[in-house]
Amino acid sequence: MIYENNSVKELKIAYVGGGSRGWAWTLMNDLAKTRDMSGTVYLYDIDFKAAQNNEVIGNQFPGDNWNYKAVKAAEEVMTGADFVIVSILPGTFDEMESDVHATEKYGIYQSVGDTAGEGGFFRALRTVPMMREIAANVRRYCPHAWVINYTNPMAVCIGALYREFPEIRAYGCCHEVFGTQSLLSNALEEMEGIADVSRQDIAVNVVGVNHFTWFSSAYYRNKDIFEVYARFIDKYYDSGYSKKGLDHWKKDTFANNARVRMDLFRCFGYIAAAGDRHLAEFMDFEDYLIDCKKWMFGLTPVSWRKENLKERLARSERLLSGEAWTLRESGEEGTLQMRALLGLDTMVTNINMPNRGQISNLPYGAVVECNAVFRDGSLTPVMAGEIPESIYPLISRAGRENEATLDAAFSLDLGYAYEKFAELNMLKSLKTEEKQELFETMYRNTEGYLGVYKK
Amino acid sequence: MIYENNSVKELKIAYVGGGSRGWAWTLMNDLAKTRDMSGTVYLYDIDFKAAQNNEVIGNQFPGDNWNYKAVKAAEEVMTGADFVIVSILPGTFDEMESDVHATEKYGIYQSVGDTAGEGGFFRALRTVPMMREIAANVRRYCPHAWVINYTNPMAVCIGALYREFPEIRAYGCCHEVFGTQSLLSNALEEMEGIADVSRQDIAVNVVGVNHFTWFSSAYYRNKDIFEVYARFIDKYYDSGYSKKGLDHWKKDTFANNARVRMDLFRCFGYIAAAGDRHLAEFMDFEDYLIDCKKWMFGLTPVSWRKENLKERLARSERLLSGEAWTLRESGEEGTLQMRALLGLDTMVTNINMPNRGQISNLPYGAVVECNAVFRDGSLTPVMAGEIPESIYPLISRAGRENEATLDAAFSLDLGYAYEKFAELNMLKSLKTEEKQELFETMYRNTEGYLGVYKK
Amino acid sequence: MIYENNSVKELKIAYVGGGSRGWAWTLMNDLAKTRDMSGTVYLYDIDFKAAQNNEVIGNQFPGDNWNYKAVKAAEEVMTGADFVIVSILPGTFDEMESDVHATEKYGIYQSVGDTAGEGGFFRALRTVPMMREIAANVRRYCPHAWVINYTNPMAVCIGALYREFPEIRAYGCCHEVFGTQSLLSNALEEMEGIADVSRQDIAVNVVGVNHFTWFSSAYYRNKDIFEVYARFIDKYYDSGYSKKGLDHWKKDTFANNARVRMDLFRCFGYIAAAGDRHLAEFMDFEDYLIDCKKWMFGLTPVSWRKENLKERLARSERLLSGEAWTLRESGEEGTLQMRALLGLDTMVTNINMPNRGQISNLPYGAVVECNAVFRDGSLTPVMAGEIPESIYPLISRAGRENEATLDAAFSLDLGYAYEKFAELNMLKSLKTEEKQELFETMYRNTEGYLGVYKK
Amino acid sequence: MIYENNSVKELKIAYVGGGSRGWAWTLMNDLAKTRDMSGTVYLYDIDFKAAQNNEVIGNQFPGDNWNYKAVKAAEEVMTGADFVIVSILPGTFDEMESDVHATEKYGIYQSVGDTAGEGGFFRALRTVPMMREIAANVRRYCPHAWVINYTNPMAVCIGALYREFPEIRAYGCCHEVFGTQSLLSNALEEMEGIADVSRQDIAVNVVGVNHFTWFSSAYYRNKDIFEVYARFIDKYYDSGYSKKGLDHWKKDTFANNARVRMDLFRCFGYIAAAGDRHLAEFMDFEDYLIDCKKWMFGLTPVSWRKENLKERLARSERLLSGEAWTLRESGEEGTLQMRALLGLDTMVTNINMPNRGQISNLPYGAVVECNAVFRDGSLTPVMAGEIPESIYPLISRAGRENEATLDAAFSLDLGYAYEKFAELNMLKSLKTEEKQELFETMYRNTEGYLGVYKK
């Protein structure tokens, strides 16, 4: 790369999973909006055709500071990369269908099924070997590159990258926290009449594991928001709260009325900071999932994802045919983080990395989410402190299950993997035979992606 | 305090040591330049007359956003304070004369004598009881105030505040690091032709204890400055380096040619990041102090300070008589930090606080210096990581001596204090009788401020 | 001291609180039984007459290896001591009456009232200044002595000794754990037919804070006792269990039927390892205390202690008059620990010391109870590991309250002490006015011992 | 296993490397001497014939409590094992010849070449894949077995077992420390006239990494041995010290006169606690190795090992032919540790395990050597505390190189392995081309065992 007049030229970005019809376009959008960075994005994907399509689409994006190039060889993609972006789908939605829905016959429901529980577990079994290969390629071809992961299960993926290559400069980036910052901004407006506070201006101390993150403190200026939020919840606990209308969650599978978050605040005294769909999967309060309508959020069926994919494929076709992309505010932080790592800014935001003491009462090595400082050539977690007492058992368990999942995936041993699977809290109501049957079923459903495991 | 249109009104700052003829005016200067904060500074000083003078001077400063008020009662000063600033002189320059020069008859020289070694030790014995009283008043009158200390010995003072009141929100602020950032900026210009890089744009990872701080990494954009600095040293090692001329150090007792810093980089491979006068006091390389002319820096005699005080008193008179103060760029960060703590900005800079794991191989509780994030209502150290191997013994020893000094001062027991004094590395060449004699002499010289200690 | 033929002569033991009519005689008993140690025990007590009586009594004990000597000056007691034993009553039973019973008018009951909650808090306010004085004397007269504390509140006392003199070689010794080891031995017999297993042969990993200790693992040989204990509880949960008969607890105020312990195992999956009376005081399950009869243990009224004191005084008189003491098996470990510290044995047992990492998810510095190795000149905690998830919130809170109590007592500031008092979990049901009134009452009741606190 | 009358029957020990003609017989010797354990030892070896020979030999050992059985399948060896003993030779002495001597043409000498430096590095490349396979088998067939490793490089082997299977219950056992305990015992006799102190009665606090262990404290009863050792060294520094005569080291390649240890004590103030041959390999004082005659120890040439092997093969033949084995005191602790883990004793001794905080200033996860408590079903490191300042850089570097070696071996990537190799401190005098040439040579020499690595 070359610095010139406060901008950086000739950057090389390796995009693994570059055939994506979602994140890839968001990245193109955000890169196109950046004024002080330019270079080439190498698109790498098992589905090479998809990468080629994105090469065409990317090169049609507004602006001319970025080139896109689909390539087949990992060596070519990675060598000399300044950044490696990882956003892959481990398997197809058919495998995901198994992840999410195979448990339903046992009365166990999942709202997302990509992070924790049995869905996250099998997704991890598929993903970890891919992550190991990516990390091995980083070690070989661009050991000093910054590696930004968007793939789920996030914590397990980050753990896999670091176990495979301990010196890797990787972190995981997730926008779930932002929604709760916005909710607090709404609370400020509703309860205090302080309008138009951008979510970034809510200073939060993030602790936890990905998709089960909490704010142990939240300030707007010198105002402690916990007290405001408590009153906000008193007002909206029953009705729920949504800027887009109280029925919006019935139409948008990703939406919710924050009722789970409100309930968790009342139970534990801290602010749960992911979407309700994610939070519910970590709780023992089973009715969050079984009775989700009461809690005003929906389970996301994989059939929806399949439908949605069709739309995205159609959009891909239109873009290929020359439909213009209108630049928008994506709300994502990836390119802002890159700018900061290049020394063009300083940034403090939440990321996923192995615990080196930033959360003092979780085990060393467990992948945790907390704030970090992005600056010239350095990414440094802040001392996020302790997980508060009341939520410690829940977060500790979630972190422990992530590590167990990682152990299972690294063992490449199905017998051992089953043992870890059988210990998942989400399966605690099942009998041993049911667990075995479920494991067998989920294995058979996704066997095509699990060939590397020894029986 | 009140927020209004992105500014904060009616702040209350309690300034302990508010009769100062140096830091106080710098603070007035920096506050006067601030556009988005206003309020009242309560000046508190044992020398009430001095505080009263500063009340007059402060109220004559340019701008009208700040009022100054000298008060006698700690309760009045502290109650309701948003910030407490501590900048006191423990004793007079007569006591400091003993601190710095009493050892010279034993062939032991000190360049500053306010931080480590025998000078820092006795200064600590005087200062710690004062700090404990300040902390007790904070606990009683304004337990949630931010407490910013400028008093030396910095690490011991911060330690005293936290031992007395573990919940205190105190930190120590020191500008010594800035000079080495500027030196690196010079190196960038000299070796790379990159001019006008402000010191703040050199992103450094600070580790160590106050006045013996080091950079374990330093980046400008993506450029690793270690390599640049190594070449810079190859060029300037013999001559030394100074923007103000190679002889400037002979005229300015605070100046130096960075030869000690260059030598330390060659010895240890990391960038020592305080002024040479301070660094020299922590080293076993005695010729730094004995042969300081060779190393191109001077010992600061207390006679100089006494002369300088006369000048400052004269200036105080002139200011009292109405001489106008011209606002200048002080280079200090205190008011910037306040703005950030109030939520008007985000800031990452180095501060002194007890170790809670931010430096992973130093003991918990030892006061360390490293970077921290200042944001709305929160000050959070970053994970500065390990002290590098090569400098570990030196920094560990310095931290250990600080803690021993603190133990001595908290014991209020002269016998125990002597034991800790006798273990100081700087006295290692003395015989036991000499140590006893020296301790007795230094005690007698400063007895007026040590009445609280039990013989 | 002098080693001769595998025994140690001329030991000096300083006994602070040496006028005691309980522990002192137990120590005399245990020392008399020791074959390989001899020396002099210096008895020190505010009640000098009591110390003198114990001098007479001690010197009449069987055997001639130990001399007893009552002395008045701390300097004489401490100088040259090899061991300092601390077993004091902070105040009289009148003060304790206030500690234990003052809350009853608010419907809050305590079973012991000397450790946690409001009783432990006020007891700590009285005790901590005494402990600081003892630590200061150790620092002055025998800094290398081993200091063994038996005084409650144990954790707070140990914390006070270390805060006052960080280099002190002190630890706290408590026999509460032994009873649960015995209970497990009973379970082995009842469920497995393995009889006569001594409690020492049950290898337990102790974690927690004093009187709220837990076993995170328990083995007899290779047998995991958790499974045995679970079955034992299934059998005895309703009836409770006692070797001395199921009604014994109605007669002996210290006895219980282990129902609280059984219930805690069912709730949390780990073995609570103190007597039920102590455990109940740490729980939120208020009916343990309010409905203690259901749980088959009694609250110990101070009136009982007063009666019991009369008996002990009478016994003291009889002993003074020459009644012979019959040596018995005390079950205490103090003298065994001394032997090990002198290098006559190796011993692994549970003690109270500040956390230096032995419990990895509790804060550094908090006084914790876990196993330690006693050997020649060294006492080294083992890596007890993590507090298990399920019991973490409870133990963390208990430790936090201990530290807050210590902060309160070190502040010597009644206003600050009230703030910490008001945060006690045991008082959570009270209104602010009630808390204030209660504090005021308890203060007035015990004012004679709190003169050092500033209003 | 079955407990009966304070003894354990039907134990199953899996011995990996069971064809050994050294350790295997020592184990047979020590097992034969054990009165309270019996069972079967399964011998597993790549050289099945050697295992079969040891089956015959073992079954001829005195006593009848143990049976020996050579088996071919890992599954049969491991399934149901209570203990797994690992003592393998990674490759033959031809490979070791390369390890030790390939560097000599560059003027770099190694005295052992199996632990650190380039010899240890290549040995690790061969060994780690074998260790991973062993760990994978433990995971599969006997996940709860205790795994005792004797293979070098010890720290790297233990690290490999834990990286492959994080739940493994493995530790490394090494007798190097014992020799220095004996040396201290000699010092007690020579300087204090205290004779016949067994090494076990010297209570030492062990800190460091295997073969570079130190005593941070050493007591005999209440006597601090540091002071005694200092005087001992004053007396014997020049001559060296050996119970077997000052020339004994010239005849016995494993012997030395402790001059390196004495010198290290003078340099650093702590007691280096491995044999001089091992210690020398960790130091920057190159003349220890180059000028080893001056320091009174020898380099162990692999030719000696080859000769010695012939003798051992001959002995094997004799034993096979019925020569009787005379039971002797081996000085090894393995069987004592087993007894303690089975609950037949309590034992405190030094072992190698990953750092979980037992050494507070070394990185988490690095394999360290310190004391641990062996009891019924549990092995718990003690809190060994900090590595002292003066020796911190050396031990930290040694630990760091072990972890880098492990990273290299786990990468299975020769390019990455070379990078780690090139950073070894022992090679610091070589030019890059020389390092490359050396790596290439050592690789080619041992290629037969490195097929799994990717070029």
Q: Write down which chains contact chain B via at least 3 CB pairs under 8 A.
A: A, C, D
Name the residue facing C136 among B136, B403, B413 (closest C-beta).
B413
> Would you name the residues of A annotated as active-site residues?
175
The nearest CA of chain C is from the CA of B447 a distance in Å of 21
The reported pLDDT for the residue numbered D287 is 87
In angstroms, rounded to a whole number, what is the distance separating the alpha carbons of residues D110 and D302? 11
The reported pLDDT for the residue numbered B321 is 96
Name the residue facing A140 among D136, D139, D415 (closest C-beta).
D415
C78: β partners: none
With a pLDDT cut of 90, the percent of chain D lying above it is 98
> Quick check: A285 pLDDT over 90?
no
Name the CATH code of domain B2-92+114-175+324-334 (choices 3.40.50.300, 3.20.20.70, 3.90.1820.10, 3.40.710.10): 3.90.1820.10
* CB contacts, 8 Å: C166 with chain B: 403, 407
Residue boundaries of the structural domains of chain D: 2-92+114-175+324-334, 93-113+176-300+335-455
The pTM is what?
0.97
The nearest CA of chain C is from the CA of B13 a distance in Å of 22
C-alpha distances out from residue D316 to D16, D19, D50, D55, D86, Å:
18, 10, 9, 11, 20
A interface test, pick of C396, C397, C403 with most A CB neighbours within 10 Å = C396
Instruction: Identify whether the C-beta of residue B4 lies closer than 8 Å to the C-beta of residue B30.
Output: no
The reported pLDDT for the residue numbered D315 is 97
Instruction: Identify whether the C-beta of residue A154 lies closer than 8 Å to the C-beta of residue A115.
Output: yes
C416 contacts B140? CB cut-off 8 A: yes
Q: Which residues of C touch A (CB under 8 A)?
A: 360-363, 386, 389-390, 392-393, 396-397, 400
B256: β partners: B297
Question: pLDDT tier at C446 (50, 70, 90 boundaries)?
Answer: very high
- Give burial (CB, 10 Å; 0-12/13-18/19+) of C250: middle
Instruction: Identify whether the C-beta of residue A208 lies closer than 8 Å to the C-beta of residue A154.
Output: no
The reported pLDDT for the residue numbered C287 is 87
Same topology, domains D2-92+114-175+324-334 and D93-113+176-300+335-455? Answer is: yes
3-state class (DSSP) for residue C69: strand
Reduced to 3 DSSP states, what percent helix, strand and coil does chain A have, rounded to the nearest 5?
A: 45, 20, 35
Reduced to 3 DSSP states, what percent helix, strand and coil does chain C have, rounded to the nearest 5?
A: 45, 20, 35
Q: How is residue D209 annotated by DSSP?
A: E
Q: Summarize pLDDT for C394-442 with one digit per residue, the tens.
A: 999 999 999 999 999 999 999 999 999 999 999 999 999 999 999 999 9
The reported pLDDT for the residue numbered D301 is 94
Q: Summarize pLDDT for C235-252 with one digit per residue, the tens.
A: 999 999 999 999 999 999
Q: Which residues of C touch D (CB under 8 A)?
A: 1, 3, 8, 201, 203, 205, 217, 219-224, 342-344, 346, 348, 356-358, 360, 371, 373, 375-378, 380-385
In angstroms, rounded to a whole number, what is the distance separating the alpha carbons of residues A253 and A249? 6
Of the residues B175, B211, B248, B278, which is catalytic? B175
End-to-end C-alpha distance for chain A, whole angstroms: 47
Work out the number of other CB atoms within 10 angstroms of the CB of residue B36: 16
Cα of C412 vs its chain's centroid, Å? 24
A203 membership: H or E segment, kind and range: strand A203-209
3-state class (DSSP) for residue C70: strand
Instruction: Tell me the average pLDDT across A423-439.
Output: 97
Q: Summarize pLDDT for D269-326 with one digit per residue, the tens.
A: 999 999 999 999 999 887 899 999 999 999 999 999 999 999 999 999 999 999 999 9
> Quick check: B222 pLDDT over 90?
no
Instruction: Tell me the average pLDDT across B189-196.
Output: 96
Give the nearest chain C residue to D200 (CA atoms): C346
C280 membership: H or E segment, kind and range: helix C276-280
Q: How many CB pairs under 8 A join C and D?
A: 108
3-state secondary structure chain B: CEEECCEEEEEEEEEECCCCCCHHHHHHHHHHHCCCEEEEEEEECCCHHHHHHHHHHHHHCCCCCEEEEECCCHHHHHCCCCEEEECCCCCCHHHHHHHHHHHHHHCCCCCCCCCCHHHHHHHHHHHHHHHHHHHHHHHHHCCCCEEEECCCCHHHHHHHHHHHCCCCEEEECCCHHHHHHHHHHHHHHHHHCCCCCCHHHCEEEEEEECCEEEEEEEEECCEEHHHHHHHHHHHHCCCCCCCCCCCHHHHCCCCECCHHHHHHHHHHCCEECCCHHHHHCCCCCCHHHHCCCCCCECCCCHHHHHHHHHHHHHHHHHHHCCCCCCCCCCCCCHHHHHHHHCCCCCEEEEEEEECCCCECCCCCCCEEEEEEEEECCEEEEECCECCCHHHHHHHHHHHHHHHHHHHHHHHCEHHHHHHHHHCCHHHCCCCHHHHHHHHHHHHHHHHHHCCCCEC
Q: Report, in angstroms and rounded to the nearest whole number, the Rg of chain A calculated over CA atoms.
A: 21
Instruction: Tell me the average pLDDT across A397-417.
Output: 98
Instruction: Tell me the average pLDDT across B255-281.
Output: 97
B393 contacts D392? CB cut-off 8 A: yes
> Quick check: C358 pLDDT over 90?
yes
Name the residue facing D389 among B360, B386, B393 (closest C-beta).
B393
Give the nearest chain D residue to A162 (CA atoms): D407
D432 membership: H or E segment, kind and range: helix D432-446
With a pLDDT cut of 90, the percent of chain A lying above it is 98
Instruction: Tell me the average pLDDT across D442-454.
Output: 97
Q: Summarize pLDDT for D360-419 with one digit per residue, the tens.
A: 999 999 999 999 999 999 999 999 999 999 999 999 999 999 999 999 999 999 999 999
* CB contacts, 8 Å: A227 with chain B: none
Instruction: Identify whether the C-beta of residue C383 lies closer than 8 Å to the C-beta of residue C373.
Output: no
Higher-pLDDT residue of B86, D284: B86
Instruction: Tell me the average pLDDT across A22-41.
Output: 96
The contacts of residue C290 (CB under 8 Å, 6+ apart) are C107, C109
In angstroms, rounded to a whole number, what is the distance separating the alpha carbons of residues A376 and B205? 11
A397 contacts C393? CB cut-off 8 A: no
- Crossing angle of the two packed helices C392-411 and C414-422, in degrees rounded to 10: 170
Q: How is residue D171 annotated by DSSP?
A: E
Q: Which residues of B touch C (CB under 8 A)?
A: 136, 139-140, 163, 165-167, 364-365, 403, 407, 411, 413, 415-416
The reported pLDDT for the residue numbered B74 is 95
Q: Write down which chains contact chain C via at least 3 CB pairs under 8 A.
A: A, B, D
> Quick check: D5 pLDDT over 90?
no
Instruction: Tell me the average pLDDT across D199-214.
Output: 97
The reported pLDDT for the residue numbered A98 is 97
Instruction: Identify whether the C-beta of residue B155 lies closer than 8 Å to the C-beta of residue B363.
Output: no
B175 is catalytic: yes
Q: Summarize pLDDT for D169-187 with one digit per residue, the tens.
A: 999 999 999 999 999 999 9
- Give burial (CB, 10 Å; 0-12/13-18/19+) of A261: buried
Question: pLDDT tier at B285 (50, 70, 90 boundaries)?
Answer: confident
C140 contacts B413? CB cut-off 8 A: yes
The nearest CA of chain C is from the CA of B56 a distance in Å of 36
Question: pLDDT tier at B241 (50, 70, 90 boundaries)?
Answer: very high
D136 contacts A413? CB cut-off 8 A: yes
The reported pLDDT for the residue numbered B31 is 98
* CB contacts, 8 Å: D399 with chain A: none
Name the residue facing A166 among D140, D407, D415 (closest C-beta).
D407
3-state class (DSSP) for residue D73: coil
B221 contacts A356? CB cut-off 8 A: no
Name the residue facing D393 among B360, B363, B390 (closest C-beta).
B390
C interface test, pick of D4, D345, D378 with most C CB neighbours within 10 Å = D378
> Quick check: A222 pLDDT over 90?
no
The reported pLDDT for the residue numbered C445 is 98
Instruction: Tell me the average pLDDT across A180-208.
Output: 96
The contacts of residue A247 (CB under 8 Å, 6+ apart) are none
D167 contacts A139? CB cut-off 8 A: no
Instruction: Identify whether the C-beta of residue C86 lies closer than 8 Å to the C-beta of residue C24.
Output: no
A218: β partners: A204
With a pLDDT cut of 70, the percent of chain D lying above it is 100
The reported pLDDT for the residue numbered B100 is 97
Instruction: Identify whether the C-beta of residue D254 lies closer than 8 Å to the C-beta of residue D278.
Output: no
Instruction: Identify whether the C-beta of residue B390 lies closer than 8 Å to the C-beta of residue D284.
Output: no
User: Quick check: bond before B153 cis, omega within 30?
Assistant: yes
In angstroms, rounded to a whole number, what is the distance separating the alpha carbons of residues B249 and B298? 7
The reported pLDDT for the residue numbered C379 is 97
Q: Which residues of B touch D (CB under 8 A)?
A: 360-363, 386, 389-390, 392-393, 396-397, 400
Nearest to D169 by CA among D329, D353, D38: D353
> Quick check: C222 pLDDT over 90?
no
- Looking at domain B93-113+176-300+335-455, its CATH architecture is Alpha-Beta Complex (3.90)
* CB contacts, 8 Å: B389 with chain D: 392-393, 396-397, 400
Average pLDDT of chain D to the nearest whole number: 97
Q: Is the dihedral of CA A360, A364, A369, A370 positive or negative?
A: positive
* CB contacts, 8 Å: D8 with chain C: 221
DSSP readout, A345-393? --EEEEEEEE-SSSBTTSPTTSEEEEEEEEETTEEEEB--BPPPGGGHH
The reported pLDDT for the residue numbered C331 is 94
At which residue do the structure tokens 């710095």 appear?
B100
